[in-house]
Amino acid sequence: MSKRAYLIAGLSFATMVAGAFSVNAQLVARKDLSLSMATTIAQTAIQTCKSQGYNVSAHVLGRNGEVLVSMRGDETAPHTLENSFKKAYTSRAQRIPSGKFAENVKGNPNAGALHLTNMMPAQGALPIMIGEEVIGAIGVSGAPGGDKDEACAKTGIDKVAADLK
């Protein structure tokens, strides 16, 4: 190869490397729940259940399973706060409703996921999504039936649906 050919080859390689690096080196752009949005979700869920005569506690978690909002409902049983957290954590981690997870592991008590901390095979939590991306979850506990907890959780998310984009 001539010197010129080497130079061109070298430049091309440099460009490729630089190109690859500039893509890999970019920061990850993410949207996350704000405290006010998380509060709206939790309060709406609690109020919906209350209007149906059910006292519930609620947790809203963020992208990393961290607690954004924790609310102990009036007249709720002590375990509901913990339970709403675990359901929410399960929903966030598994990226599915905690009730779906419960179905998935039914008849399989040795499922590995059941042995992770804070995993709870119980209905009442939903992931909070932006499109296909899970950015958090809401968990509810206290209504007579996980289906009712989940319905209240859904009204919380529905309340901010327009902002989840």
| Helix-, strand-, coil-residue percentages of the chain, each rounded to 5 | 50, 15, 35
Residues 45-64 that bind other proteins (CB under 8 A): 46, 62
Locate tokens 């989940």: which residue?
150
Q: Which residues of 147-164 are buried (b: 16+ CB within 10 A; e: fewer)?
A: ebbbbbbbbbbebbeeeb
The 10 Å Cβ neighbour count of residue 65 is 16
Q: How many residues contact other proteins, by CB under 8 A?
A: 19
Nearest-approach distance from CB 97 to other proteins, in angstroms: 23
- Residue 163 binds to other proteins (criterion: CB under 8 A): no
- Does 159 contact other proteins by CB under 8 A? no
Establish if 95 lies at the interface with other proteins (CB under 8 A): no
Q: Is 81 in the site for other proteins (CB under 8 A)?
A: yes
Site residues, other proteins (CB under 8 A): 32-35, 39, 43, 46, 62, 66-74, 78, 81
